[in-house]
């Protein structure tokens, strides 16, 4: 039975000062006395920021009327968020997953009461099938990253940062898959405080093999990857959202690409430092700290152009969370991180 649910479906998450990550900053960055803050989106009811985005879209669809079920496609986290949102709103949901999605993710999504279909080897194929299912009257399709309601929902994390941080940040690091998180964060930066944060740069981190944004920015046009070869399957969009690409050209966005090993190593280090387990897609953003990407000339130049910040302006990492991880995976990545190179 459908139930009413007040907006929003997501929760306000903590933004904590990370002493371990602050100490890891390169000497030239430490000299600026910049603390590192973590926006803990991994503590959302769906274990990732996706509930902000998808919860907003679903709640708006219900408020408009005529919605009798949801249809979603996802490599995992968006599908799970759709299942959580649908349960909270009392409506059924059909989630289409590509074959690359681990079996435990299918079980997790089904545990929320969702109907799950596995179709296609990558997200774009699952997406096409989901659109066919959504043609049924009363169905509302929930894209995982490419819709204004998703970006609006995601932008609320910037509203929270505006209240939580001691001052205007010097830079924000986010992971990029389809680009929904990037688009939401940039739109939020342009809105809060009467646009006082509109010049805050964003480090957009992708893993090699899922780097459609970086390749698009380099080419000056949207690029479709031939395949997703990264371990970070939930970053697996062959083509980034056009809105994310547009904002990456209009806003100070610094694209960075890290190897899978950096992302998994960051997951292990983060678990050791903060006793939280996140997936490699989230590890990509954390690698901005663990791999000293902040010391790059492009990032330091972008920070120098931010108006009205002090030497203690914080660095923010959005810990986007994720469900595509198990303790066995973490153990294998830890072993790999500790093994000498062959």
pLDDT of residue 1: 46
Cβ–Cβ < 8 Å for 107, 86: no
DSSP reduced 3-state for 19: helix
CB 49 within 8 A of CB 160: no
Sketch out the chain's domains with CATH numbers. Answer: 15-47+148-338 (3.40.50.1100), 52-142 (3.40.50.1100)
Mean pLDDT, contiguous 10-residue spans, the chain (342 residues): 66 97 74 86 97 97 95 89 97 93 92 95 86 96 94 98 97 95 98 95 95 95 88 75 96 96 95 95 94 89 92 95 88 81 52
Does pTM top 0.95 for this prediction? no
| Cα 63 to chain centroid, rounded | 26
CA distance 38 to 339: 29
């Amino acid at each position: 039975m459908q139930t009413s649910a007040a907006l929003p479906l997501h929760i306000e998450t903590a933004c904590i000062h990370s002493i371990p990550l602050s100490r890891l900053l390169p000497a030239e960055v430490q000299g600026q006395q910049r603390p590192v803050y973590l926006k803990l989106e991994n503590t959302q009811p769906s274990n990732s920021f996706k509930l902000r985005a998808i919860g907003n879209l679903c709640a708006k669809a219900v408020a408009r009327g005529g919605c009798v079920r949801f249809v979603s496609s996802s490599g995992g986290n968006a599908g799970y968020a759709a299942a959580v949102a649908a349960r909270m709103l009392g409506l059924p949901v059909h989630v289409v997953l590509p074959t690359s999605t681990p079996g435990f993710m299918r079980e997790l999504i089904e545990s929320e009461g969702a109907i799950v279909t596995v179709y296609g080897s990558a997200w774009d194929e699952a997406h096409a099938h989901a659109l066919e299912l959504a043609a049924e009257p009363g169905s509302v399709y929930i894209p995982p990253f490419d819709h204004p309601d998703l970006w609006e929902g995601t932008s609320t994390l910037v509203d929270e940062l505006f209240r939580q941080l001691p001052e205007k940040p010097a830079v924000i690091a986010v992971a990029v898959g389809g680009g929904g998180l990037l688009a939401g964060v940039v739109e939020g930066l342009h809105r809060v405080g009467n646009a006082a944060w509109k010049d805050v740069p964003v480090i957009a981190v992708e893993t090699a093999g899922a780097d459609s944004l970086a390749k698009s920015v380099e080419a000056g046009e949207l690029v479709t990857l031939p395949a997703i070869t990264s371990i970070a399957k939930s970053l697996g969009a062959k083509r980034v959202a056009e809105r994310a690409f547009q904002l990456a050209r209009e806003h100070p966005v610094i694209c960075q690409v890290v190897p899978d090993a950096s992302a998994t190593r960051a997951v292990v280090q983060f678990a050791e430092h903060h006793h939280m387990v996140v997936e490699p897609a989230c590890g990509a953003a954390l690698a901005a700290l663990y791999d000293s990407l902040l010391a790059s000339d492009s990032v330091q130049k972008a920070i120098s152009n931010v108006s009205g910040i002090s030497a203690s302006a914080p660095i923010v990492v959005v810990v986007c969370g994720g469900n595509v991880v198990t303790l066995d995976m973490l153990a294998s990545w830890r072993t790999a991180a500790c093994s000498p190179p062959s």
